[in-house]
């Protein structure tokens, strides 16, 4: 048994065959079609396998993301496609490949790692915790929109630069290229809904589905609130059944508008997050506070605990997982009642930190 290590380029077909059998046994396409920027020769150095001679026994993949927000530019290690051969489970192989992904993430100067799973206790043993915020709305009934001059389409043949233009207007997004957008548009079982201005310019878009995942979920969207709402109205009428749209918590205009309609609102977590490079992340957050005129923000690691606060209004945190929930939410600074009102007011200039990973970037 050898590894964890990166597969050689000649081993990539074998690795994909292993993943297809373990994770996509019912799908008529390869997992590489669902994650076209992760399972490529260019990303071999971010894949981890444990092998026995020529047989793959365990796998995980890392996808580094640069995520821009109004206050902080993060480097995020998205981790996914974690699987171990049935006959070798219970031997710690998945833990080993994930820890090696985390080691690589640290070497690549990632601030945090994120993954999506329902095996919460397993990943908590490696320091991950549910954190961040995700708001979802189930669009249950048709809702009428004011008559507009928009036209709507479900045609998947759309220029990637049109999608890219609207995507780039989000205040929090991953850095992508137009070529990456083109690859994402070709993911199997992706339904593309678009709204168009009379002059032929794309006004809004919504993406549903991603291979075997996210069916019935709008996980990517763009455009002004009013035009996006018109598009959602079209989608509900077109589908004839309820669907769910996923929103970042900072999309307040869209959230307020959807709350006035017949929808079911659910609040959840962005994912399971682990701090990979505390000193680097702390420095970025301090710079963000200084830019807002708060020069005495404190975020320090002292031994095995953390000191957090502003000025002399400080709090000691003993667990890094609590720090994750303080930085990215959902902990409410007012509700916990440990800081002065003036301290909370300064926190709210930046915190909780805006962080979002759009559906195409999940792994």
pLDDT tens column, 187-220? 999 999 999 999 999 999 999 999 999 999 999 9
β-bridge mates for residue 264, sequence order:
138
Between 304 and 163, residue with greater pLDDT: 163
Q: In the predicted model, is pLDDT for residue 142 greater than 90?
A: no
1 three-class SS: coil
pLDDT for the residue 153 = 97
| Separation between Cα atoms, residue 245 and residue 251, nearest integer Å | 12
Q: In the predicted model, is pLDDT for residue 182 greater than 90?
A: yes
Q: In the predicted model, is pLDDT for residue 146 greater than 80?
A: no
- Annotate the chain with three-state secondary structure: CEEEECCCHHHHHHHHHHHHHHHCCCCCCCHHHHCCCCCCHHHHHHEEEEEECCEEEEEEEEEEEEEECCCCEEEEEEEEEEEECHHHCCCCHHHHHHHHHHHHHHHCCCCEEEECCCCHHHHHCCCCEEECCEEEEEECCCCCCCCCCCEEECCCCCCHHHHHHHHCCCCCEECCCHHHHHHHHCCCCCEEEEEECCCCCEEEEEEEEECCEEEEEEEEEEECHHHHHHHHHHHHHHHCCCEEEEECCCCHHHHHHHHCCCEEEEEECCEEEEECCHHHHHHHHHHHHHHCCCCCEEEEEECCEEEEEECCEEEEECCHHHHHHHHHCCCCHHHHCCCCHHHHHHHCCCCCCCCCCCHHHCC
Of these ranges, 86-90, 123-127, 142-146, the one predicted with the greatest mean pLDDT is 123-127
The pLDDT-based confidence of 331 (bands split at 50, 70, 90) is: confident
Single pTM value for the model: 0.95
Nearest to 59 by CA among 38, 28, 34, 37: 38
4: phi then psi, degrees, rounded to nearest 5:
-75, 145
Q: In the predicted model, is pLDDT for residue 143 greater than 90?
A: no
Between 39 and 147, residue with greater pLDDT: 39
pLDDT for the residue 145 = 78
Q: In the predicted model, is pLDDT for residue 356 greater than 90?
A: yes
Average pLDDT of 323-332?
A: 93
Domains annotated on the chain, with CATH: 2-110 (3.40.630.30), 134-268 (3.40.630.30), 273-347 (no CATH)
pLDDT for the residue 94 = 96
Model confidence pLDDT, tens digit, residues 31-68: 999 999 999 999 999 999 999 988 999 999 999 999 99
pLDDT for the residue 360 = 96
pLDDT for the residue 335 = 85
CB atoms within 10 A of CB 92: 13
């Amino acid at each position: 048994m050898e590894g964890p290590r990166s597969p050689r380029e000649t081993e990539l077909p074998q690795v994909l065959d292993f993943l297809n059998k373990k994770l996509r046994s019912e799908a008529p396409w390869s997992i590489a079609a669902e994650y076209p920027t992760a399972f490529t020769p260019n990303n071999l150095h971010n894949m981890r396998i444990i092998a026995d001679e020529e047989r793959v026994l365990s796998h995980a993949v890392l996808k580094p993301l640069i995520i821009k927000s109004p206050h902080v530019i993060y480097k995020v290690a998205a981790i996914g496609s974690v699987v171990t051969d049935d006959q070798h489970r219970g031997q710690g192989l998945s833990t080993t490949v994930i820890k090696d992904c985390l080691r690589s993430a640290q070497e690549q100067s990632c601030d945090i790692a994120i993954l999506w799973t329902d095996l919460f206790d397993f990943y908590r043993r490696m320091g991950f915790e549910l954190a961040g915020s995700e708001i979802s709305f189930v669009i249950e009934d048709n809702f009428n929109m004011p008559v507009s001059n928009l036209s709507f389409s479900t045609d998947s043949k759309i220029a990637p630069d049109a999608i890219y233009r609207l995507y780039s207007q989000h205040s929090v997004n991953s850095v992508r290229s137009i070529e990456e957008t083109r690859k994402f548009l070709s993911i199997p079982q992706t339904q593309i809904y678009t709204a168009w201005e009379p002059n032929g310019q794309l006004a809004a878009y919504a993406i549903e589905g991603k291979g075997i995942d996210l069916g019935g979920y709008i996980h990517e969207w763009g455009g002004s609130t009013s035009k996006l709402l018109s598009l959602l109205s079209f989608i509900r009428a077109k589908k004839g059944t309820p669907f769910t749209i996923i929103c970042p918590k900072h999309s307040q205009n869209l959230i307020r508008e959807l709350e006035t309609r017949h929808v079911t609102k659910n609040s959840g977590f962005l994912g399971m997050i682990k701090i990979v490079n505390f000193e680097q992340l702390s420095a970025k957050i301090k710079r963000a506070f200084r830019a807002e005129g708060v020069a005495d923000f404190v975020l320090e690691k002292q031994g095995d605990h953390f000191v957090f606060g502003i000025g002399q209004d400080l709090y000691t945190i003993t667990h890094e997982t609590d720090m994750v929930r303080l930085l990215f939410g959902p902990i409410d600074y007012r509700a916990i009642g440990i800081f002065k009102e003036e301290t909370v007011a300064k926190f709210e200039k930046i915190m909780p930190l805006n962080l979002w990973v759009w559906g195409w970037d999940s792994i």
